[in-house]
Protein backbone atom coordinates (compact mmCIF):
# COMPACT_ATOMS: atom_id res chain seq x y z
CA UNK A 1 0.00 0.00 0.00
CA UNK A 2 3.11 2.23 0.09
CA UNK A 3 2.08 3.75 3.41
CA UNK A 4 4.77 5.13 5.66
CA UNK A 5 4.64 6.56 9.12
CA UNK A 6 8.20 7.91 9.12
CA UNK A 7 9.17 11.49 9.87
CA UNK A 8 11.05 12.13 6.62
CA UNK A 9 8.67 14.78 5.24
CA UNK A 10 8.42 16.46 8.63
CA UNK A 11 12.19 16.63 8.93
CA UNK A 12 12.50 18.04 5.40
CA UNK A 13 10.01 20.81 6.21
CA UNK A 14 11.84 21.51 9.47
CA UNK A 15 15.18 22.06 7.68
CA UNK A 16 13.43 24.15 5.04
CA UNK A 17 11.91 26.27 7.79
CA UNK A 18 15.30 26.77 9.47
CA UNK A 19 16.89 27.65 6.14
CA UNK A 20 14.24 30.31 5.47
CA UNK A 21 14.74 31.70 8.97
CA UNK A 22 18.40 32.44 8.11
CA UNK A 23 17.74 35.41 5.80
CA UNK A 24 14.83 36.72 7.86
CA UNK A 25 16.77 36.42 11.12
CA UNK A 26 19.80 38.22 9.67
CA UNK A 27 17.60 41.09 8.44
CA UNK A 28 15.86 41.39 11.80
CA UNK A 29 19.13 41.29 13.72
CA UNK A 30 20.65 44.04 11.54
CA UNK A 31 17.56 46.29 11.53
CA UNK A 32 17.66 49.06 14.15
CA UNK A 33 14.23 48.51 15.71
CA UNK A 34 13.98 44.72 15.60
CA UNK A 35 17.62 44.20 16.52
CA UNK A 36 17.72 46.69 19.40
CA UNK A 37 19.53 45.53 22.52
CA UNK A 38 16.34 46.10 24.52
CA UNK A 39 14.41 43.55 22.43
CA UNK A 40 14.76 40.07 23.99
CA UNK A 41 16.41 37.43 21.85
CA UNK A 42 13.39 35.16 22.40
CA UNK A 43 11.11 37.76 20.82
CA UNK A 44 13.36 38.01 17.77
CA UNK A 45 13.38 34.24 17.35
CA UNK A 46 9.59 34.09 17.66
CA UNK A 47 9.08 36.84 15.06
CA UNK A 48 11.64 35.23 12.75
CA UNK A 49 9.99 31.82 13.04
CA UNK A 50 6.50 33.23 12.49
CA UNK A 51 7.51 35.14 9.35
CA UNK A 52 9.43 32.09 8.10
CA UNK A 53 6.29 29.95 8.41
CA UNK A 54 4.41 32.44 6.25
CA UNK A 55 7.22 32.44 3.67
CA UNK A 56 7.22 28.65 3.57
CA UNK A 57 3.48 28.65 2.92
CA UNK A 58 3.43 31.50 0.40
CA UNK A 59 6.53 30.70 -1.63
CA UNK A 60 8.22 27.63 -3.06
CA UNK A 61 11.57 28.25 -1.38
CA UNK A 62 13.52 25.02 -1.07
CA UNK A 63 16.50 24.29 1.15
CA UNK A 64 19.66 22.84 -0.45
CA UNK A 65 19.58 19.08 -0.72
CA UNK A 66 22.82 18.72 1.26
CA UNK A 67 22.77 21.57 3.75
CA UNK A 68 25.95 20.62 5.60
CA UNK A 69 28.15 20.45 2.51
CA UNK A 70 30.25 23.27 1.05
CA UNK A 71 27.55 24.36 -1.47
CA UNK A 72 24.97 24.23 1.32
CA UNK A 73 27.09 26.38 3.62
CA UNK A 74 27.70 28.87 0.81
CA UNK A 75 23.93 29.07 0.28
CA UNK A 76 23.46 29.80 3.99
CA UNK A 77 26.19 32.46 3.85
CA UNK A 78 24.45 34.09 0.87
CA UNK A 79 21.19 34.18 2.86
CA UNK A 80 22.95 35.89 5.76
CA UNK A 81 24.60 38.48 3.49
CA UNK A 82 21.31 39.40 1.81
CA UNK A 83 19.52 39.73 5.15
CA UNK A 84 22.30 41.82 6.66
CA UNK A 85 22.31 44.12 3.61
CA UNK A 86 18.60 44.85 3.95
CA UNK A 87 18.89 45.51 7.68
CA UNK A 88 22.02 47.61 7.23
CA UNK A 89 20.14 50.04 4.99
CA UNK A 90 17.75 50.81 7.85
CA UNK A 91 20.64 50.94 10.31
CA UNK A 92 22.35 53.62 8.23
CA UNK A 93 19.12 55.64 8.05
CA UNK A 94 18.68 55.52 11.83
CA UNK A 95 22.29 56.66 12.29
CA UNK A 96 21.71 59.97 10.46
CA UNK A 97 19.84 61.69 13.36
CA UNK A 98 22.54 60.53 15.78
CA UNK A 99 25.23 62.15 13.62
CA UNK A 100 23.16 65.35 13.49
CA UNK A 101 22.81 65.26 17.27
CA UNK A 102 26.60 64.97 17.63
CA UNK A 103 27.07 68.14 15.58
CA UNK A 104 24.33 70.06 17.41
CA UNK A 105 25.48 68.89 20.84
CA UNK A 106 29.06 69.96 20.12
CA UNK A 107 27.85 73.45 19.19
CA UNK A 108 25.64 73.71 22.27
CA UNK A 109 28.29 72.38 24.63
CA UNK A 110 26.14 69.38 25.55
CA UNK A 111 28.45 66.66 24.27
CA UNK A 112 29.05 65.48 27.84
CA UNK A 113 25.32 64.76 28.29
CA UNK A 114 25.25 61.16 27.08
CA UNK A 115 22.92 58.24 27.66
CA UNK A 116 22.87 54.55 26.78
CA UNK A 117 21.44 53.99 23.32
CA UNK A 118 18.79 51.21 23.53
CA UNK A 119 19.39 50.26 19.89
CA UNK A 120 23.11 49.59 20.11
CA UNK A 121 23.89 49.65 23.82
CA UNK A 122 26.58 52.30 23.22
CA UNK A 123 26.60 55.81 24.66
CA UNK A 124 25.17 58.58 22.48
CA UNK A 125 24.20 62.22 23.12
CA UNK A 126 20.96 62.83 24.93
CA UNK A 127 19.80 64.84 21.93
CA UNK A 128 20.47 61.81 19.76
CA UNK A 129 18.13 59.80 21.99
CA UNK A 130 15.41 62.35 21.29
CA UNK A 131 15.90 62.19 17.53
CA UNK A 132 16.12 58.40 17.63
CA UNK A 133 12.86 58.04 19.55
CA UNK A 134 11.06 60.42 17.19
CA UNK A 135 12.37 58.53 14.15
CA UNK A 136 11.32 55.18 15.65
CA UNK A 137 7.81 56.43 16.44
CA UNK A 138 7.40 57.92 12.97
CA UNK A 139 8.77 54.75 11.34
CA UNK A 140 6.37 52.52 13.27
CA UNK A 141 3.46 54.93 12.84
CA UNK A 142 3.86 54.88 9.07
CA UNK A 143 3.99 51.08 9.04
CA UNK A 144 7.62 50.99 7.99
CA UNK A 145 8.24 47.76 9.92
CA UNK A 146 5.55 46.01 7.88
CA UNK A 147 6.98 47.35 4.62
CA UNK A 148 10.43 46.16 5.67
CA UNK A 149 9.17 42.63 6.35
CA UNK A 150 7.41 42.71 2.98
CA UNK A 151 10.70 43.66 1.30
CA UNK A 152 12.45 40.77 3.02
CA UNK A 153 9.80 38.36 1.73
CA UNK A 154 9.95 39.86 -1.78
CA UNK A 155 13.72 39.44 -1.82
CA UNK A 156 13.20 35.70 -2.33
CA UNK A 157 11.96 36.51 -5.83
CA UNK A 158 15.03 38.55 -6.76
CA UNK A 159 17.54 36.41 -4.88
CA UNK A 160 16.39 32.78 -4.94
CA UNK A 161 18.15 30.79 -2.22
CA UNK A 162 21.33 29.16 -3.41
CA UNK A 163 21.33 30.92 -6.78
CA UNK A 164 22.27 34.57 -6.20
CA UNK A 165 24.70 36.78 -4.31
CA UNK A 166 24.75 40.52 -3.91
CA UNK A 167 26.56 41.97 -6.91
CA UNK A 168 28.98 44.93 -6.87
CA UNK A 169 26.30 47.26 -8.22
CA UNK A 170 23.99 46.55 -5.28
CA UNK A 171 26.79 47.01 -2.77
CA UNK A 172 27.55 50.33 -4.47
CA UNK A 173 23.91 51.34 -3.94
CA UNK A 174 24.23 50.69 -0.22
CA UNK A 175 27.45 52.70 0.00
CA UNK A 176 25.88 55.53 -1.99
CA UNK A 177 22.94 55.57 0.41
CA UNK A 178 25.37 55.82 3.33
CA UNK A 179 26.82 58.95 1.72
CA UNK A 180 23.33 60.39 1.31
CA UNK A 181 22.69 59.87 5.02
CA UNK A 182 25.68 62.06 5.89
CA UNK A 183 24.15 64.81 3.75
CA UNK A 184 20.79 64.23 5.47
CA UNK A 185 22.43 64.49 8.89
CA UNK A 186 24.00 67.79 7.83
CA UNK A 187 20.60 69.07 6.66
CA UNK A 188 19.05 68.17 10.03
CA UNK A 189 21.78 69.92 11.99
CA UNK A 190 22.23 72.93 9.70
CA UNK A 191 19.41 75.23 11.01
CA UNK A 192 20.34 74.80 14.67
CA UNK A 193 24.05 75.00 13.90
CA UNK A 194 23.51 78.27 12.01
CA UNK A 195 21.72 79.78 15.02
CA UNK A 196 24.52 78.61 17.33
CA UNK A 197 27.11 80.14 14.99
CA UNK A 198 25.35 83.51 15.09
CA UNK A 199 25.19 83.35 18.90
CA UNK A 200 28.88 82.51 19.16
CA UNK A 201 29.76 85.36 16.79
CA UNK A 202 27.67 87.76 18.88
CA UNK A 203 29.35 86.52 22.06
CA UNK A 204 32.76 87.02 20.45
CA UNK A 205 31.90 90.58 19.44
CA UNK A 206 30.73 91.34 22.98
CA UNK A 207 33.89 89.89 24.47
CA UNK A 208 36.04 92.05 22.20
CA UNK A 209 34.05 95.20 22.94
CA UNK A 210 33.93 94.51 26.68
CA UNK A 211 37.05 92.50 27.65
CA UNK A 212 35.91 92.41 31.27
CA UNK A 213 33.13 89.98 30.34
CA UNK A 214 33.94 86.32 30.75
CA UNK A 215 33.44 84.67 27.35
CA UNK A 216 32.90 81.20 28.81
CA UNK A 217 30.33 82.29 31.38
CA UNK A 218 28.47 84.22 28.66
CA UNK A 219 28.84 82.04 25.59
CA UNK A 220 28.01 78.63 27.06
CA UNK A 221 24.61 79.55 28.59
CA UNK A 222 23.73 81.62 25.53
CA UNK A 223 24.57 78.68 23.24
CA UNK A 224 22.46 76.26 25.28
CA UNK A 225 19.48 78.64 25.38
CA UNK A 226 19.75 79.45 21.68
CA UNK A 227 20.09 75.76 20.76
CA UNK A 228 17.04 74.76 22.79
CA UNK A 229 15.05 77.65 21.30
CA UNK A 230 16.09 76.61 17.78
CA UNK A 231 15.09 73.00 18.48
CA UNK A 232 11.68 74.13 19.75
CA UNK A 233 11.12 76.32 16.69
CA UNK A 234 12.15 73.52 14.31
CA UNK A 235 10.17 70.84 16.18
CA UNK A 236 7.18 70.97 13.76
CA UNK A 237 9.54 70.10 10.90
CA UNK A 238 11.21 67.24 12.76
CA UNK A 239 8.39 64.79 12.05
CA UNK A 240 8.49 65.55 8.32
CA UNK A 241 12.26 65.06 8.22
CA UNK A 242 11.99 61.71 10.02
CA UNK A 243 9.22 60.62 7.65
CA UNK A 244 11.44 61.51 4.68
CA UNK A 245 14.31 59.49 6.17
CA UNK A 246 12.04 56.48 6.72
CA UNK A 247 10.68 56.64 3.17
CA UNK A 248 14.18 57.09 1.75
CA UNK A 249 15.48 54.06 3.65
CA UNK A 250 12.63 51.85 2.46
CA UNK A 251 13.05 53.02 -1.13
CA UNK A 252 16.75 52.26 -0.97
CA UNK A 253 16.07 48.80 0.45
CA UNK A 254 13.62 48.23 -2.39
CA UNK A 255 16.28 49.22 -4.93
CA UNK A 256 18.67 46.70 -3.39
CA UNK A 257 16.24 43.84 -4.09
CA UNK A 258 15.01 45.21 -7.42
CA UNK A 259 15.57 43.10 -10.50
Please give the average per-residue pLDDT across 148-152, as a whole number. 87
pLDDT, residue 118, reads 57
If one compares 219 and 181, the residue with the highest pLDDT of the two is 181
Helices vs. strands in the chain: H and E counts, helices first: 8, 2
Cβ atoms 181, 93 nearer than 8 A: yes
Q: How many CB atoms lie within 10 A of CB 76?
A: 20
Please report whether residue 67 resides in a domain: yes
- Rounded to an integer, the average pLDDT of 212-223 is 69
Mean pLDDT rounded to a whole number for the chain: 79
Give the number of domains in the chain: 1
Residue 201: CB atoms within 10 Å: 10
Residue 9 has pLDDT above 80, yes or no: no
Report, as an integer, the average pLDDT of 230-246.
83
Q: Please tell me the pTM assigned to this model.
A: 0.76
The reply to whether 3 falls in a domain is: no
Domain membership of residue 129 (yes or no) is yes
- Checking if the pLDDT of 251 tops 70, the result is yes
**pLDDT greater than 80 at residue 79:** yes
- Give the pLDDT band of residue 20 (cuts 50, 70, 90): confident
- Does residue 200 fall inside a structural domain? yes
Does the structure show a pLDDT above 70 at 73? yes
Q: What is the pLDDT of residues 107-116, one digit of tens each?
A: 776 666 565 5
188 assigned to some structural domain: yes
Residue 208 counted as domain residue: yes
61 pLDDT above the threshold of 70: yes
Query: Has residue 2 been placed in a domain?
Result: no
Q: pLDDT band for 2, please (50, 70, 90 cuts).
A: very low
Q: Does residue 104 lie in a domain region?
A: yes
Non-local CB neighbours of 73 within 8 Å, separated by 6+ positions: 67
Q: In terms of residue numbers, what domain contains 120?
A: 8-256
More confidently predicted of 247 and 117: 247
pLDDT for residue 213 is more than 80: no
C-beta contacts of 238-244 below 8 A and 24+ residues apart: 238/131, 238/134, 239/134, 239/138, 241/187, 241/188, 242/97, 242/131, 242/134, 242/135, 242/138, 242/139, 243/138, 243/142
Question: Lowest-pLDDT range, 17-21, 107-111, 175-179, 205-209?
Answer: 107-111
3-state secondary structure of 2: coil
pLDDT at 67: 72
Amino acid sequence: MNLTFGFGPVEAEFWRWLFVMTRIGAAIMAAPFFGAAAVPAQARVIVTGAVAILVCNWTSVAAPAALFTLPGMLAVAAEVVIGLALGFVLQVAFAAPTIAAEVIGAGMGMSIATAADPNTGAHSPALGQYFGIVLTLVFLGLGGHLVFLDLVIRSYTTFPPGHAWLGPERIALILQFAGQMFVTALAIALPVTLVLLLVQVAAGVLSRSAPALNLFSLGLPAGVVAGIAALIISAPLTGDMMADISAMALRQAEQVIAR
